[in-house]
Structure 1
Amino acid sequence: IEELRETTNGECLSCWGTAECNSNIVGLITSRVCLQLEDLKCFEIVDHQFRPYGITLKNAIALQPSNPAYPAPSGTKIIMAGPKNGWIEAKFSHPISALYCYITSSHPTIVSAYDQQNTILVTASTGGSNLATSDSKIPPNIPMKIEAANIYRVHFYAYDGQLTIADLCFEFEDRRIYW
């Protein structure tokens, strides 16, 4: 697979690849989106700010943590569950195939992915609390990765505990375009 540098109208699309298949050209789009939190204001409610990138959030607040129990793994900002404790929800405008982030929480956190019909596809867990200031064997900012086809919604649930998410990235499902 070689990289496609231009489309027929001259736009540069460095995230596309090409391959020949039965004398047709196939364009393969693989899109990874990582949320840039640094431009958000502290205590800003995060819901529609990333809609142009295909994601909306519920019950999420941008925060520059002052509590050492919830360190930011990179940058200075994280997403905290709020105004209600213990849960954050992400909805996607198009299906994704993978979600990656770092989680710190005062209770075990369950991450569940759902399809468009609200059927559960996959779940993952942090296995316990992982505050930086606790005696937990699980480190803060534990990496979380979920993968499944046709994910439209992801729910993070920490049993009414405090929950933070950092470095949230996701991948849209591959799309093939034939010329």
Structure 2
Amino acid sequence: MSFLESPPLSPSQGKGSSELTKNFNLPASNRQTISTPAEIIQLDFESLTALEGLSNQYSCLGVRFSGAIALQPSNPALARYSRSQVLMPVANLTGITVQFPCALNTAGASVMGSKPVVVTAFDANNDSIEKISTQVTYSISPSAEQFLPLPHNRLEVKGLNIVKLVFFSAAPFILDDLFFYQ
């Protein structure tokens, strides 16, 4: 399995840090607060084989997939990823679901598509926590003399207790570099 693991964030680098308090039976004014940095996990999908369906390949890292296959794009509009393994929704599906057995506060991925790509974060009660989108529609014309690459977008959701992400679009899209803070 291939994944990239970034070094821990310093306490000043974001909201992913959790606070621990050492009590030692001291008055509240004398207690020490220690920040523990969040661990960033980033998956690049390079070890997957073409057209491999995803499910539990990354379960040892705390993530499961449904509705996704791995591939190397051949469309010139996706030139940025032409030599990379990426994820795409399975044929006849318009979304990819990513589940985390342990709740997270931040997660996201790089996406590319000709229609808006939306990511929705859910909590353990399957309630929507946050939803964001790429917001832009692009036209890909097969008759164009020169293909313009589609824009690369990074979608990141933040919220308490994220246990599921759903990436969705009305047109095929690709997903790469999934990241989350543990």
Q: TM-score range by the shorter chain?
A: 0.7 to 0.9
Q: Provide TM-score, normalisation by structure 2.
A: 0.73
Distance 1:158 1:68, change over 3 A: same
SS in 2 for 1:52: helix
Q: Within the alignment, does 1:148 sit opposite 2:162 as a pair?
A: no
The answer (yes or no) to whether the contact 2:114–2:150 under 8 Å persists in 1 is no
- Superposed CA deviations along residues 31-53 of structure 1, whole A, max 9, x for unmatched, are 21111311110111111101111
Q: Within the alignment, does 1:170 sit opposite 2:180 as a pair?
A: yes
- Identity score, percent: 23
Query: In structure 1, how many angstroms separate the alpha carbons of the residues matched to 2:106 and 2:20?
Result: 24
Cα offset, 1:133, TM superposition: 7.1
Cα offset, 1:73, TM superposition: 5.2
Query: In structure 1, how many angstroms separate the alpha carbons of the residues matched to 2:150 and 2:46?
Result: 23
The answer (yes or no) to whether the contact 1:97–1:150 under 8 Å persists in 2 is yes
SS in 2 for 1:118: coil
Query: In structure 1, how many angstroms separate the alpha carbons of the residues matched to 2:54 and 2:22?
Result: 43
Question: Given residue 66 of structure 1, which amino acid in structure 2 is its aligned partner?
Answer: S
How much is the aligned-residue C-alpha RMSD, in angstroms? 3.2
Alignment partner of 1:30 out of 38, 52, 57: 38
Distance 1:128 1:138, change over 3 A: farther
Query: In structure 2, how many angstroms separate the alpha carbons of the residues matched to 1:56 and 1:19?
Result: 29
Distance 1:22 1:120, change over 3 A: same
- Superposed CA deviations along residues 56-115 of structure 1, whole A, max 9, x for unmatched, are 111111111111122345961111111333211101010111113111113212211110
- Superposed CA deviations along residues 109-137 of structure 1, whole A, max 9, x for unmatched, are 221111000001000011023578799x9
Query: In structure 1, how many angstroms separate the alpha carbons of the residues matched to 2:67 and 2:140?
Result: 23
Query: In structure 1, how many angstroms separate the alpha carbons of the residues matched to 2:58 and 2:115?
Result: 27
SS in 1 for 2:60: helix
SS in 2 for 1:94: strand
Structure 2 unpaired stretches of 5+: 1-6, 11-18, 25-31
Cα offset, 1:170, TM superposition: 0.9
Cα offset, 1:167, TM superposition: 1.1
Alignment partner of 1:61 out of 50, 58, 69: 69
Q: Provide TM-score, normalisation by structure 1.
A: 0.74
Alignment partner of 2:58 out of 44, 50, 56: 50
Distance 1:39 1:100, change over 3 A: same
More helix by share: 2
Query: In structure 1, how many angstroms separate the alpha carbons of the residues matched to 2:41 and 2:108?
Result: 10
Distance 1:68 1:74, change over 3 A: closer
Question: Given residue 90 of structure 2, which amino acid in structure 1 is its aligned partner?
Answer: G
